[in-house]
Structure 1
């Protein structure tokens, strides 16, 4: 798995504190349990998953993520799919979702390293502000000019 270590490095280079890294089998219950643990017990602000978002029967990450969600945040995954269509029309096949579980933002990314790199570059700028809003550290969501 090249995507997981890349995600860790990507966020560390941008000043984020990475608390854990796990590789899980494509089993919905195990994914659900990990997401609950990382959200509720570990109190992480952000969880990024990679892989399991395609059309095969074993791709169950979106289902696990939706099962543990308290609120939906569709714009993140919509933006990833929209911008990714500029690179490949296969982006429309991604079923990744973005949700909140209480005060934790969970974002599903595709499994390929190339798609992960593109996806992170798409979301990284607004992500910081979104996490500040989620944690109550910012309140202004007005349009950014410039």
Structure 2
């Protein structure tokens, strides 16, 4: 009997209010549950303030070499939304088609999805994706990821295109 390797995921929530205890994190648990249903090893979401704390949390997560990191929040146009700027310098290669599809899928639910500036890409052998901070944006984003996350991870591990 062949056993598949356990895949590891990290969820990072960019929310200044949730990090300060002034609001509940409503998206991190949704992403964590999604990974758990796929039998990923995933710890409780890391909740940090918007801006530089996101970059520090990403760098710390990348140091543990997970298979995938999904962030939520900080992708909009507010002055404190800086998740894409904190993510992009850590990526070896961007995957603009993934980010574009996340926005395209979101537009079917709300025209505001075009305001998301999230990025996606590869850092070492880790797939990194920024999702919006809304529950609807996360649900739409997970639909997109459902069809490709395992394939991307397989490719990063040297798998074939089958």
Distance in 1 (CA, whole Å) between partners of 2:152 and 2:44 is 21
2:58 is matched with: 35
Q: Which has the higher helix share?
A: 1
Task: Encode CA deviations 1:54-76: one digit per residue, 9 max, x unaligned.
Answer: 00110000000012111111111
Runs of 4+, deviation exceeding 4 Å: none
SS in 1 for 2:108: coil
Q: Would you say 1:132 and 2:154 are equivalent positions? A: yes
Task: Encode CA deviations 1:85-108: one digit per residue, 9 max, x unaligned.
Answer: 111111111000002111111100
Distance in 2 (CA, whole Å) between partners of 1:34 and 1:4 is 14
Q: CA RMSD in A?
A: 1.2
TM normalised by structure 1 equals 0.89
Q: Which has the higher strand share?
A: 2
Structure 1 regions of 5+ residues with no counterpart?
Answer: 142-146
| Cα contact 2:102–2:141 (8 A) shared by 1 | yes
